[in-house]
A and B are shown apart, each in its own frame.
Chain A
Amino acid sequence: MKLTGCPLIVLISVLLAAAAAGATRPHYGGTLHMQVGTRVDSLDAADNNQPDVLSGRNIPALIFGTLVALNDQGQPQPALAISWRSDSGNQRWEFVLRPGVTFSDGTQMTPEAVTASLRRANPSWKILPQETEVVIQLGAPSPDLPAELALPRNMILKLDGGKALGTGPFVVSQWDPGKKLVLVARDDYWGGRPFLDSVEIQMAKNFRDETLSYDLGQSQVIQIPPEQARHQREAGELRVSQPIELVALLFADEVRSPEEAKQRQALALSIDRSLLNRVVLQSSGEAAGGLLPDWLSGYGFLFPEDANLTRAQQLRAELPKATAWNLSFDANDALARVLAERIALNASDAGLRLQLNNQSTPDVRLVRIPLASLDPYLALTQIANALELPPPRFLGTTIDDLYHAENAMLQSQRVIPLLHLRTAWAVSKGVRDWENARDGSWRLPDVWLLPGKP
């Protein structure tokens, strides 16, 4: 080998190293094209009229911000508030606002604006703006108030002639409710300008269209239904969250007789949750015996989740007559339909009759409830709220208190937990630093796109 070849090799090596370094270093620019299967009709997270779906939380989070954010461990972290303190009784809280934060119209985020926004979402709270802070005076001790302020409904927004302005990393460029949203990055975002120039989100797309668009490179991120997760996992581009969505059967009424309690127990025992998870969900979820996922509560395994058809049949045999129940589900949710059909078949094996009927007053409803918070206490409270059950009674702040509160909810037999679903996304190779939080929320300000790739 001649010595003259050495500089060439060095040069090539340097270029390759530079290229490699360039590929891993974030780039500004580009539009992220996303498609989600769910439909979002309102960007207001405090709007109670739209169903509680994950996208309905993630999308507003791109435009608005909260005073407090939770980390993956559920611990409150500063966001629009840089610090907070409470009195000894956890009834009076003071939140110091982050200075220099502006709404998307360039106006300052003032304590008055924050106060107005929080009052809108929490009419019962007594909120006082101070010079640089906001004071919240509650009627009862609320040690979890910082975590509660991290809930989507407490996002800070400013209403300007019917238009909601936020402090988030993106601002709305185009909004076609339920169909399409185009966001552009804010250069003056207090957390620093996002790498992406814009984000285009297509909504209410069926999986076939999503995959076609994804395969053609027209979309870089698509939502994968749990039942289709296996195929995408085999393709190697699946990003999956923790099991964060509860699937459960919710009875319309309290138990009215011992026979009804026995029939509900028989129904709970007849459902093969493991098979549902393994086959229908393609193992993309977890069989659930409790309301909170095991990864969040740590005691989920204590609640029985295995089917016991023999016992269910025995219980049914002990009943002089089994009531035929109407089971309703979201007719637009393909997964809910399959789950309901399978549950009806399992119930039939136990001698119970479930009629699939989406009438207005069903006996039982199949519900899907996303995890509201990484704080387990707050999450359980939100689940009870979503199920319209009495709020859980926490005797303390220990894990035992949490368990007893959840167990009491389950003992009421109003709800039969079935599964905890993960949320899954197919993310193309050109999308970098896509990270799912444990609760499934997006972190799009950190995402960047490889140049030259759609």
Chain B
Amino acid sequence: MRFRRKILAVFALTVFVSVTAVASLISYFARRNFEQVSERRTAALVFRFDHEFAQKEASVLRRVESIAQSETVLRMAVALNHAPPDYAAYFNEAKNIAEAKQLDFLEFLDDQYTILSSAQWPAKFGYKAPLPGIDTQGVFFQREDLPDGAVLGFCAMQKVTSGDKPLYVIGGQRIDRNFVADLEMPSGMRALLYENLGPGADPPHVIDPFGSVPEIASLVPLIKQIQNDPRQNSGLVHWSSNAEDDERVYAIPMFGLDRQLLGALLLTDSLRPYVGLRRQIRSAALLIGGAGIFLAVVLSGWAASRVTRPVEQLAMAAHAVAAGNWDTQVTVGTRDELADLAESFNQMTHKLLDSRERLVQAERVAAWRELARRLAHELKNPLFPLQLTIENLIRSHQQSLEQFDEMFRESSSTLLAEIANLKTIVARFSEFSRMPQPQFQQVQLNEIVQDVARLFHSQLTAPGRPPIQSKLELDPLLEPIVADPDLLHRALSNLILNAIEAMPTGGTLTLTTRQDGDRAGLEVSDTGTGLTPEERARLFTPYFTTKQDGTGLGLAIVQLVISDHGGRISVQSKPGKGTTFSIELPRNADKLKDNQVRATSGLS
């Protein structure tokens, strides 16, 4: 990825992460605050419900007490102790008194709990009342069985004693949709009533101020939870796929005298404000994020252009330096770290140029010294016999003329031989300095390798010499390349000669070719003495040799040939493990075209 794109991506990512983090934090705190507010509101509502309910209980209790203390009831209690109950006399009493006292339930029971008069079920006179814990004082939740079905209520009981047989007065109010409607709910909250009156009622019966709630599937898990663990509980209820319809529901269970769960008041708190707020936060975050990212793109583009243009100039200059243009200079118009960097770069290239010139001069000097040393060495050997021969001739001429002729003939032949030797040395140096230009043509590298191997076969297997085994591993799919076959032949011969000389005690010479992409590969491996790292570093330096009678030009010629073919040569070697020379040669199709162009234009 380009540096500019990286900067842009980093900017955009930073803005995105920042906006997301801020939005998430705001959402989190909003939700937490909302939940706290909701809990406080619900707690206040539960408190108010408890308060209201306590007032209702007290009111019911007062009314039942006043009924119990009324003259009518006292007369009834007295009559019960003197005669069997007269149901006809009491038939309307409960209903009339309940209406007057605004009670939904009112029943008078005798000492056997037989209903004397009932307001809620007048026809039930003479029947027993199913009342657990009849002697309970205070107000209690009660399941009331009516002709139309069971209902929920809260009742108070008073015992009127006027003789041996007590009279029980039980009055109360119904807990129904009117009761729920009477609860003053803050905005966003509502009250529901779950009635647990039917055995195994499924689905459960839930009412609101308008009647039965038809769709309560979402409430069922919470209700089941209350049924299994009847205590105050709360849960999140999803009424629909729209999150705005979600409500947090708080359940306040209601128990009968026998601790049976008779129902639960369900206080719901709408999450609509919170969901709306959350959506606003998200919208704002999206808007801000979008705008931020846009600004980030613009700003990062501007900033990147200011930052990356000098960097790009530096990169281009570095590429130029790498390509060999060591005099490349960078100009930066700013006065910041990048300008310092450009200045340092310029200084570096300047120093590189100096160093290269010094190195070239040093190498040139070293080469001349080496050349002088080699020349001195090469020339010293023939000069010394020449000097001795001439001195012998002089000494012979002075001592004996008879022997001088014979000595002269012998010395003449020696002098001629040494002079010939000197001429050979001079010719070799002259040959290196006059390496010919390659004559490119399409060749099969495998054929050149086979020709050279065949040429050296007799030498490798010559009697009296430690045997060297020759192995050819040629790639049959090796494609033809454009090269000078003579130069390649010569370079390969030098490498094989080198390998033979590196295996004085015999070994294996392996010649390998392979197709390496669009390049042809050639390896010459021996199992000889190998090279030290220092030798390997200077191996291709002209006139460098590790041999007593080497000129140090063989491998230099090889490198020169490979270089003229646009190829590359490398060496892998370890002392005692042998040496492998690896050559890569390009296909050089363009060289063939150049040759053809030159041939047609008469330049070759």
Contact = CB atoms under 8 A, between A and B. Distances in A.
A338 B88 contact: no
Contact of A345 (B88, B99, B124): B124
Given A341-B147, A356-B147, A356-B148, A227 B91 contact: yes
B99 A208 contact: yes
B91 to A, nearest CB: 5
B123 A227 contact: no
A227 B124 contact: no
Contacts of A282: 88, 91-92
B127 interface: yes
A228 B92 CA distance: 8
B360 to A, nearest CB: 118
Interface in B87-104: 87-89, 91-92, 99
A190 to B, nearest CB: 45
A227 B126 CA distance: 17
Contacts of A283: 88
A410 interface: no
Contacts of B125: 279
A443 interface: no
A279 B87 CA distance: 6
B95 to A, nearest CB: 9
B123 A342 contact: yes
Max count, chain A CB within 10 A of own CB: residue among B122, B126, B127: B122
Interface string A324-367: 00000000000000111110110000000000100000000000
Interface of A: 208, 227-228, 230-231, 275, 278-280, 282-283, 338-342, 344-345, 356
A400 B177 CA distance: 59
A228 B87 CA distance: 14
B87 to A, nearest CB: 5
Contact of B88 (A230, A342, A356): A230
A344 B147 contact: yes
A340 B126 CA distance: 16
Contacts of A339: 123
A230 B127 CA distance: 22
B239 interface: no
A319 to B, nearest CB: 24
Contacts of B88: 230, 278-279, 282-283
Q: Which A-B residue pairs are the 8 nearest by beta carbons?
A: A341-B123, A342-B123, A279-B88, A279-B87, A341-B147, A338-B123, A278-B88, A279-B91
Interface residues of B, number: 15
A345 B92 contact: no
A335 to B, nearest CB: 10
28 contacts: A227-B91, A228-B92, A230-B89, A231-B92, A275-B87, A275-B126, A278-B87, A279-B87, A279-B88, A279-B91, A279-B125, A280-B91, A280-B123, A282-B88, A282-B91, A282-B92, A283-B88, A338-B122, A338-B123, A340-B123, A341-B121, A341-B123, A341-B124, A341-B147, A344-B123, A345-B123, A345-B124, A356-B148
A231 B148 CA distance: 28
Contacts of A228: 92
Interface in B117-169: 121-127, 147-148
B32 to A, nearest CB: 53
Listed residue (A231, A279, A341) with the most chain B CB atoms within 10 angstroms of its CB: A279
A356 B149 CA distance: 10
Contacts of A344: 123, 147
Contacts of A341: 121-124, 147
Contacts, number: 40
A454 B324 CA distance: 133
Nearest to A342: B123
Q: B87, B121, B127, B147 — which one has the most chain A CB atoms within 10 A of its CB?
A: B147
A139 B202 CA distance: 64
Contacts of A356: 147-148
Contacts of B122: 280, 338, 341
A208 B95 CA distance: 12
Interface of B: 87-89, 91-92, 99, 121-127, 147-148
A340 B123 CA distance: 8
B128 to A, nearest CB: 12
A345 B145 CA distance: 13
Nearest to B121: A341
Nearest to B87: A279
Contacts of A280: 91, 122-123
A227 B92 contact: yes
Given A282-B92, A341-B121, 20 more contacts: A208-B99, A227-B92, A230-B88, A275-B87, A275-B126, A278-B87, A278-B88, A279-B87, A279-B88, A279-B125, A282-B88, A282-B91, A340-B123, A341-B122, A341-B123, A341-B124, A342-B123, A344-B123, A345-B123, A345-B124
Contacts of B92: 227-228, 230-231, 282
A227 B127 CA distance: 19
A230 B92 CA distance: 10
Contacts of B89: 230
A361 to B, nearest CB: 19
Contacts of A275: 87, 126
B377 to A, nearest CB: 134
Contacts of B126: 275
A341 B115 CA distance: 15
A282 B117 CA distance: 13
Contacts of A208: 99
Contacts of B147: 341, 344, 356
A269 B127 CA distance: 19
B10 to A, nearest CB: 76
Contacts of A279: 87-88, 91, 125
A183 to B, nearest CB: 33
A279 B125 CA distance: 9
A41 to B, nearest CB: 28
A338 B122 CA distance: 7
Contacts of A340: 123
Which of B92, B99, B123, B125 has the most CB atoms of chain A within a 10 A radius of its CB? Answer: B123
A330 to B, nearest CB: 15
Contacts of B87: 275, 278-279
A279 B86 CA distance: 8
A282 B121 CA distance: 17
Nearest to B127: A345
A373 B196 CA distance: 53
A279 B92 CA distance: 9
Nearest to B89: A230
A370 B126 CA distance: 30
A231 B124 CA distance: 20
Nearest to B91: A279
Contacts of B99: 208
Contacts of A345: 123-124, 127
A329 to B, nearest CB: 11
Nearest to A277: B88
B116 to A, nearest CB: 11
Most buried by B among A339, A345, A356: A345
A297 B400 CA distance: 204
Contacts of B123: 280, 338-342, 344-345
A286 to B, nearest CB: 15
A345 B126 CA distance: 11
Contacts of B91: 227, 279-280, 282
B322 to A, nearest CB: 100
A331 B186 CA distance: 37
